[in-house]
Structure 1
Amino acid sequence: MKRLLWSMATVSLLAAAGCAHSPDSPGYSHLYEHALEQQRGVTPVPAGALERFIALYSPIDAHYLRAHLDEVYAERIYFNDTLATFYQRDELKAHMLKTAERLNDMRLRIRKIWRDDDDVFLQWIMETRFTVLGRERGSRTIGISQLRFNRQGQVIFHQDFWDSSQGLDQHLPIIGPVTRMLRQHP
């Protein structure tokens, strides 16, 4: 009974949150556009910067993150992975460490890299292994990261473009079945 009440309360909160977002509310696209104006990167990207970024995410590892995230990201940043937005490196570091601790494994495989002025784009495939309700599950998603670097070779702008419902959301209780059902319509 407790579980049913909890489930109903969660669904109600999610429905209310969904209704609270109107087409007029800016969402993260407004934050992205603002950051594009404010966070100008340098050209060319300093040597080794891109390699350090890629190494940080493949595989994701809490010990490696603690040791190297400060080299990869500047203190003041714009970071959005479609699930969270951060403006300070310490906030991102805490988030990434929690993520690393929750995952059994995560790897990025870079498929393509291209540059346009001060932007660097990485097309990737992300494979993750994680445990939900006592069962290990896997996820494979595609995405693109847009990066900008400062003169020291640190990331100052990081925007991910990916469909989280193809990755993590589909494995979550309550949300997962709804996400899978919505994806099945024509």
Structure 2
Amino acid sequence: METKQDIPLLDAKAIRRLWSQTYNTQGKPDWSHLYPLYDQEIRFQDSIQTLEGKQAFMAMCERLAKRCKQMDMELYTIVRENDHAFLQWKMTTRFRHFPSSPIYGCSCLTFNEKELIVEQRDYYDLWGDIADHVPVYHRLYRWFMRTFFG
């Protein structure tokens, strides 16, 4: 059983080091070194899905790795305050049949008393970032968003 002593405090520097090992420019991402940092009851949510439990989270990571040829992530700002950390990033995914396109986003990590990640919420505009790289469609998408949402 893991105790707080088994898990180091994930300050901004440690988060940058660990998350930088996940993505590379030589192939598929590998999250296996991060899995021990997640609580069994992890709740993950992003623009597409909400998952409950570590097994569901790990399965989602593995599905993403299978679908892409390569994934890179540039980490910009990382801030840790109390039981929350915020990571600002740019992720570029190269899928088998589509051109690569960057997605800009932010992740919020919530830590429990054991210093394990109990919640992760990823924020990004998946369709907007993808649409920006599709000729003609990007103008239509941006017009629609401005007209109907602000």
Q: Does TM, normalized by the shorter one, top 0.5?
A: yes
TM-score, normalised via structure 1 length: 0.59
Moved over 6 A (4+): 176-179
Q: Structure 1 pair 69/117, CA: closer, same or farther in 2 (3 Å)?
A: closer
Q: Is 1:183 matched up with 2:142? A: yes
Cα distance 1:85–1:103, how it changes in 2: closer, same or farther (>3 A)? same
Describe how 1:76-115 pairs up with structure 2 within 5 A: 76-115=41-80
* 2:9 aligned partner: 46
The answer as to whether partners of 1:69 and 1:93 remain within 8 angstroms in 2 is no
Measured against aligned partners, the alpha-carbon deviations of 1:100-141 in whole angstroms (never above 9, x if no partner) come to: 010111121110112343211111111111123xxx410112
Distance in 1 separating the partners of 2:119 and 2:137: 30
**Shift, 1:70, TM fit:** 2.8
In the superposition, the TM-score normalised over structure 2's length comes to 0.71
Structure 1, residues 135-169: CA drift from partner, whole Å, max 9, x if none? x410112111101123444311111111011345x
Instruction: Name the CA distance, whole Å, in 2 between partners of 1:52 and 1:129.
Output: 23
Q: Does 138-147 or 52-61 show the bigger shift?
A: 52-61
Task: Give yes or no for the alignment of 1:140 onto 2:97.
Answer: no
Gaps of 5+ in 2: 1-7
Q: How far off is 1:51 after superposition?
A: 4.6
Gaps of 5+ in 1: 1-44
Secondary structure, aligned partner of 1:143: strand
Partners of 1:53 and 1:84 in 2: how far apart?
A: 24
Within 1, Cα distance between the matches of 2:15 and 2:38?
11
Q: Which residue of 2 aligns with 1:158?
A: 120
More helix by share: 1
What is aligned with 1:36?
none
Q: Post-superposition shift, 1:178?
A: 9.7
Q: Does 1:123 align with 2:88?
A: yes
RMSD: 3.0
Q: 1:47 to 1:95 in 2, by over 3 A?
A: closer
Amino acid at match of 1:108: M
Aligned pairs, how many?
A: 132
Q: State the structure with more CA Rg.
A: 1
SS at match of 1:158: strand
1:73 is aligned to 2:38? yes
